[in-house]
């Protein structure tokens, strides 16, 4: 990940700044159920406003497939954003053209306006240059504060960075610095906790991490496939048996490259997957034929705590068990709290990301105690896979033009 420009590198006073954020927040019955993405962008919006810029907020919301869909308007989000900022925020009925320009013209320095869903235009996701030029006409400077959208080469996430002087917002800056510290220039030893249901969705990730970390802790349904690949019976557990050869290849590659793959010593099994279902702890090699693995066991959780205590850096993506359904949350909760305690004591840099991961850490009550928890899903995963993110690469490119 190359260097990138930040708000420290530009004078925004008297300028109109287009700020790409991620306001694709979860909503139910017209109300936002999780405002983390809003709170994360407040430092950037406050700073730009305080420095006298006209602040123009761009975002997508849901998947309207390139046409206006009233239920996917950003208008309801404007009120929540205004409350969070502590100031009124006008709303423009479009993200380009006269409605957007008129709303911007009415702004005073320090004012903030929210434009309508960028994905109401099909050209947005096509990264259409003509559409990008129309959007660029609205501002003098472009700021990207949406790492969670940086894996998409869309007009508002990538093309604008080539048409206007482009900078990382404070949320993007913090995210990139933590990601660099976690994998690009980490303090060793480095551990990665990789969980989730299927190995098939994490093959590229595992292949990249083997070369970058010292230990990979595998949990969730993924671990079942690796246990099966080692010749252990997994009963009725979720298991991609067709990937056993792939799992064995990964295990061999890890040995060759000096990366330890950690699988659970004991597991929690049950005959059915439901809250409060009768369960028991068994050694990983003694899973009953009529039962399924739904969590790591206490011996495994304790061992992982010892492993993390010997590490300096942790990257976490994916739960270790079916944490949404007690009692199968115990393993994830125990290890998460251990990582949080090590972080609090200054012994561990901990970076986590992915939707299920954030939910799991919140369930454990430690999301605020990790060094950094990313709100990104796909972008965080692609970064772990070693892929270049278009939205980040654009910020690292030479400045396209001088500020107007």
Q: Is 202 annotated as a binding residue?
A: yes
> Which of the following is catalytic: 37, 54, 170, 303?
37
Q: Residue 352's closest CA among 211, 297, 364?
A: 364
> Which of the following is catalytic: 110, 305, 377, 378?
378
Dihedral sign (CA 278, 283, 284, 285): negative
Q: Is 140 annotated as a binding residue?
A: no
Is residue 404 flagged as an active site residue? no
Is residue 355 flagged as an active site residue? yes
Q: Is 124 annotated as a binding residue?
A: no
> Which of the following is catalytic: 106, 355, 365, 404?
355
Q: Is 31 annotated as a binding residue?
A: no
Q: Residue 58's closest CA among 91, 84, 106?
A: 91
Is residue 236 flagged as an active site residue? no
Q: Is 119 annotated as a binding residue?
A: yes
Place of tokens 């942790």: 314
CA distances from 367 to 3, 27, 134, 350, 361 (A): 28, 21, 40, 11, 5
Q: Is 357 annotated as a binding residue?
A: yes
Q: Is 256 annotated as a binding residue?
A: no
Q: Residue 163's closest CA among 393, 394, 388?
A: 394
Q: Is 62 annotated as a binding residue?
A: yes
Q: Is 121 annotated as a binding residue?
A: no
Is residue 378 flagged as an active site residue? yes
Q: Is 151 annotated as a binding residue?
A: no
Q: Is 317 annotated as a binding residue?
A: no
> Which of the following is catalytic: 198, 232, 337, 362?
198
Residue 143 pairs in a beta bridge with 19, 167
Q: Is 387 annotated as a binding residue?
A: no
Which residues, at least 6 apart from 120, have a Cβ–Cβ distance to it below 8 Å?
64, 66, 67, 68, 69, 72, 94, 95
Q: Is 154 annotated as a binding residue?
A: no
For residues 219 and 193, is the Cβ–Cβ distance under 8 A?
A: yes
Q: Is 355 annotated as a binding residue?
A: yes
Q: Is 208 annotated as a binding residue?
A: no
Q: Is 328 annotated as a binding residue?
A: no
Task: List the binding residues for (2R)-3-phosphoglycerate.
Answer: 37, 119, 152
Task: List the binding residues for ATP.
Answer: 202, 324, 354-357
Task: List the binding residues for substrate.
Answer: 22-24, 37, 60-63, 119, 152
Task: List the binding residues.
Answer: 22-24, 37, 60-63, 119, 152, 202, 324, 354-357
Query: Among all residues, which ones are annotated catalytic?
Result: 37, 198, 355, 378
């Amino acid at each position: 990940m190359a260097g990138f420009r930040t708000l420290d590198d530009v004078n925004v006073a008297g300028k109109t700044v287009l700020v790409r954020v991620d306001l694709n927040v979860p909503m139910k019955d017209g109300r936002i159920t999780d405002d983390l993405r809003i709170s994360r962008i407040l430092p950037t919006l406050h700073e730009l406003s305080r420095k006298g810029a006209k602040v123009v907020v761009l975002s997508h919301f849901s998947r309207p497939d390139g046409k206006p869909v009233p239920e996917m308007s950003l208008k309801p989000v404007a009120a929540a954003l205004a409350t969070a900022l502590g100031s009124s925020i006008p709303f423009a009925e479009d993200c380009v053209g006269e409605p957007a320009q008129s709303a911007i013209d009415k702004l005073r320095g320090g004012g903030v306006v929210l434009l309508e869903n960028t994905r109401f235009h099909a050209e947005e996701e096509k990264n259409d240059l003509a559409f990008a030029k129309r959007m660029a006409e609205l501002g003098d400077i472009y700021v990207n504060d949406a790492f969670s959208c940086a894996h998409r080469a869309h007009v508002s996430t990538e093309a604008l960075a080539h048409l206007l002087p482009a900078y990382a917002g404070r949320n993007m800056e913090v995210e990139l610095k933590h990601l660099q510290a976690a994998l690009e220039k980490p303090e060793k030893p480095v551990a990665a906790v990789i969980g989730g249901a299927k190995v098939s969705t994490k093959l590229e990730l595992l292949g990249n991490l083997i070369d970058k970390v010292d230990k990979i802790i595998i949990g969730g349904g993924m671990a079942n496939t690796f246990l099966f690949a080692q010749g252990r019976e997994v009963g009725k557990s979720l298991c991609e048996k067709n990937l056993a050869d792939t799992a064995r290849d990964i295990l061999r590659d890890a040995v060759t490259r000096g990366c330890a793959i950690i699988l659970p010593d004991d597991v929690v099994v049950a005959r059915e997957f439901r809250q409060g279902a009768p369960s028991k702890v068994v050694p990983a090699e003694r899973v009953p034929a009529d039962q399924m693995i739904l969590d790591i066991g206490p011996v495994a959780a304790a061992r992982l705590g010892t492993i993390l205590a010997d590490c300096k850096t942790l990257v976490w993506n994916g739960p270790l068990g079916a944490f949404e359904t007690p009692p199968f949350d115990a393993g994830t909760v125990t290890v998460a709290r251990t990582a949080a305690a090590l972080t609090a004591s200054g012994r561990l840099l901990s970076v986590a990301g992915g939707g299920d991961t954030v939910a799991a850490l919140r369930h454990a009550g430690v999301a605020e105690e990790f060094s950094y928890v990313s709100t990104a899903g796909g972008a965080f995963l692609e970064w772990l896979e070693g892929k270049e993110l278009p939205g980040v690469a654009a910020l690292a490119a030479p400045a396209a033009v001088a500020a107007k």
